[in-house]
Amino acid sequence: MTEIAKLGKEPFMWLVELGGSFKIFFLAFVSIITGKFSKKEFIVQASKFGFDTLPVVAVVSFFIGLALTLQISKQLVGIGNTSSLGTSVAVSIVREIGPVVAGVMIAARIGGAMAAEIATMTVSEQVDALKIMKLNPINFLVAPRLLASLIMTPLLTVFAIYIGSVGGMLIAIIYVQLDPYMFFDSFRAVVGNRDILIALSKAFVNGALVATLSCTFGMETSGGAAGVGQTTTKSVVWAMLGIFLFNFLITNSVYSVGKVLDPAFVR
């Protein structure tokens, strides 16, 4: 009978976990605003988010920029419209590719490690020890990681956009023999403050998702070493799903609102 009851609850467990994630995010955000978080831990986590993830983001963004520009250039060469190559690459990289690549790399590189670290502390009763010492785990563990993610993810997103654009420029020069000035002139013509705000909004959401889900799943871990492994996989998978879902929702919302306020925006 117990197994039947458990089976009936399984489809709704994600709702419970979603509610727990919102609660932890709210408590951590309040801790950040009130300044009750661990500053030392924040510096450590900011270093992990930033400098440790920078090489991975650079390599992935560069090669995605190469591949994306190569595919677009083949189509434009076929119709003899290579002058708009910079425009096509700019829209793709700034609005979509940059935020998604940075978010996914942070989820894979940092989110999994963060979840495994907190999960290990949970199953080894280190989190309980913090409570015994009257140290709030939210202030000591979650808030510094959340703040580091909220700050570093947008910065990494801007870096990913820049490196991807450089990769696109190289393909434009080598494959299409396009003048670099023409490439970046068309790039600047289509990219405005609105596009940067869209990219930074997506990056901010991605950073909040990765930190919140990783910390939530880590603090709810049970079952020893097996539980730590399951938590690590779960945090990465759910963070990536959230990144792609919110990327679509933000893009759809922006285009829906932009179509009403400024029809030229969707052209």
> What pLDDT, in 10s, does the model give residues 121-153?
888 888 878 778 877 888 888 899 999 999 999
Phi, psi dihedrals of residue 192, rounded to the nearest 5°: -125, -175
In a domain, 145, yes or no: yes
The 8-class DSSP code of residue 37 comes to S
Query: pLDDT confidence of 6, banded at 50, 70, 90?
Result: very low
First and final C-alpha spacing in the chain: 59
| Per-residue model confidence (pLDDT) at position 81 | 64
Residue 198: which domain range? Answer: 38-248
Q: Give the global pTM.
A: 0.83
| Per-residue model confidence (pLDDT) at position 171 | 83
| Per-residue model confidence (pLDDT) at position 79 | 67
* Number of domains into which the chain is organized: 1
In a domain, 14, yes or no: no
Q: Which two tokens mark 144?
A: 């510094």
In a domain, 19, yes or no: no
Q: Which residue has the tokens 């010492």?
A: 133
Query: pLDDT confidence of 243, banded at 50, 70, 90?
Result: very high
Query: pLDDT confidence of 1, banded at 50, 70, 90?
Result: very low
